[in-house]
Amino acid sequence: MRKLKIITAAVATSLFYGCSLAPVYHVPPIDIPVAYKEPGPWQTSRPSDRLPRGDWWISAHDTELSRLELQIDKANPDLAAAVARYDEATAFLSQTRAGLFPQLGVGGALTNNRQSDNRPLRGSGEPSVYGANSLTFELDYDFDLWGRVHNEVAANKDLAQAGAAEMESVRLSLHIKLADAYFSLRGDDEKLKLLRDSEAAYAHALKVTTTLFHGGVAPAEDMTRAGTNLYTVRAQIDEIEAQRALSEHAIASLAGISASSFAIPPDANPVNFDAIPLDVPSALLQRRPDIAAAERRVAAANASIGIARAAFFPDISLSPMMGFQSDSTANLLSASNLIWAIGPQLSATLFDAGLHRAELAAARAKLNESAANYRSTVLRGFQEVEDNLALLSHLRDEAQAEDLAVQNAQRTLKFSFNQYQAGAVSYLDVFEAQTAALQVSQSAIDLRVRYLHACVGLVGALGGGWPGIKADQTDLPAAQIPGAKTRSPVEAPTDAGLALS
């Protein structure tokens, strides 16, 4: 008797609450390092996935970049599509949640019918024409004894959260792409100023060597070498202008603007970027939206196992009906016309040729796949952080050495031209000094742009900006980009003795 009471109580409890056949969910284990390997002047931030990631691009202190970045949230079609996908996922979640509650419906019919005079088994007293009128109310409710509906809700909730994270991942990716394109464009602006200043200096050098040649003072080789440098620079100008145009077009598309009606005024001033705070490695799992999306998909796959397991058990539902039925509309709602039906309904599979087992095996395989994808995403996240930290560290040292090379190339160019004017060396020495000075100056610009790309890459690898970021922040050390000074970096060939008299 006691056992019967326990069984009855258990069944009654399951009728109200159901049970879940999904495994207990655990986030796939990850070996997380205690600190990042690459050294550098990085501050420690205090990130939280609940806090905004900040408008990190304002660390570049560039009003044009900030204006363009804000345009992404307003007009970028890829971001709009990601938002729509998230809205779709939340709509699916709402649809699934509806299955947790009873569904109430109403139906009615007012029909006039005639039956055949020769209908088989027709009674002698039955009329040929009769009315069939009804008004019914029906309630449908699935008891969800095995948690199928609850696990469907859980899975769709996890997928909706994954959709939100993927939307943020798309947003972050678009902001990163725009910043990369913008820094490339500004690097092209620096190069164009360098090349145009060099063009003016080389044109003047060609004029001087041509005059000396016609005066019988210098050989023809001096004139042709000066011309080689001039025309080479002009060709490089065309190449850089083409690269700048492509970057400008890419920025226009990212900002949701037609490339045909978009232009960014040239600005050759070097761009700076403030130091980037580093969170601890474990916080990376909270901060990166792609990692969050991958983890939520693991949770959804775990819930799907419960859905597949529930298919092995009978489904019990209740569909009570109550209404009125009569052959006329008069007094349709009277008590004598009342009809009703109530009772549970059961459906179960007796033979499916292994269908449910295959569905369960597929659900388990999906969980393993999702867990592996999660671990892969985490490992890739740590790699991207370490990659960009290594780039920043080594590019900083490389750029400092390159700046020294620029200074020495400028001095060499000045010395060689002074010696040429004194007749101590041939123009070949000046030609080589010009070429070297231009090359190292361009390399210095390339290094600064690569440093900016690495800064942006580190922001992306960390999952975005950081709490408390402000446009006028002064608490972070201004880790100026190596070589990015207030002067123009294009001094080399133009101010190094080529203004020939």
Q: Please state, in angstroms and as integers, the Cα–Cα distance from residue 25 to each residue in 50, 146, 296, 305, following that order.
A: 22, 17, 11, 11
pLDDT above 60 (res 34) = yes
**Can you give the pLDDT at residue 476?**
29
Residue 415: other Cβ atoms inside 10 A:
16
In 115-259, the DSSP E strands lie at 129-142
Query: Residue 351: left (phi > 0), alpha (psi -120 to 50), or beta?
Result: beta
* Tokens 């284990």 belong to residue: 29
- Of residues 398, 458, 385, the one with CA closest to residue 59: 458
The CATH architecture one would assign to domain 15-103+144-494 is Up-down Bundle (1.20)
pLDDT tens for 184-201 read 999 999 999 999 999 998
Q: Say if CB 110 and CB 284 are below 8 A apart.
A: no
pLDDT tens for 438-480 read 999 999 999 999 999 999 999 999 888 765 554 333 332 333 3
Q: How far apart are the first and last CA of the chain?
A: 117
SS3 of 253, please? helix
Count Cβ neighbours within 10 Å for each residue of 152-170 and write b for 16 or more, e otherwise: bbbbbbbbbbbbbbbbbbb
**Can you give the pLDDT at residue 215?**
84
Q: Say if CB 492 and CB 457 are below 8 A apart.
A: no
Confidence band of 50 (pLDDT split at 50, 70, 90): low
Query: What mean pLDDT is predicted for residues 144-148?
Result: 90
- Of residues 104, 95, 101, 103, the one with CA closest to residue 153: 95
pLDDT above 80 (res 98) = yes
pLDDT tens for 331-355 read 888 888 899 999 888 999 899 999 9
pLDDT above 50 (res 11) = no
pLDDT tens for 261-279 read 999 999 999 998 887 877 7
Q: What is the CA radius of gyration of the chain?
A: 38
**Can you give the pLDDT at residue 442?**
93
The rounded distance, in Å, linking the Cα atoms of 175 and 460 is 9
What is the percentage of the chain residues whose pLDDT exceeds 70? Answer: 86
Q: Name the residue ranges covered by the structural domains of the chain.
A: 15-103+144-494
Mean pLDDT across the chain, nearest whole number?
84
Residue 127: burial class (beta carbons within 10 Å; 0-12, 13-18, 19+):
exposed
pLDDT tens for 481-498 read 333 333 232 332 333 322
The rounded distance, in Å, linking the Cα atoms of 211 and 274 is 50
pLDDT above 50 (res 7) = no
Torsions phi, psi for 29 (to 5 deg):
-65, 140
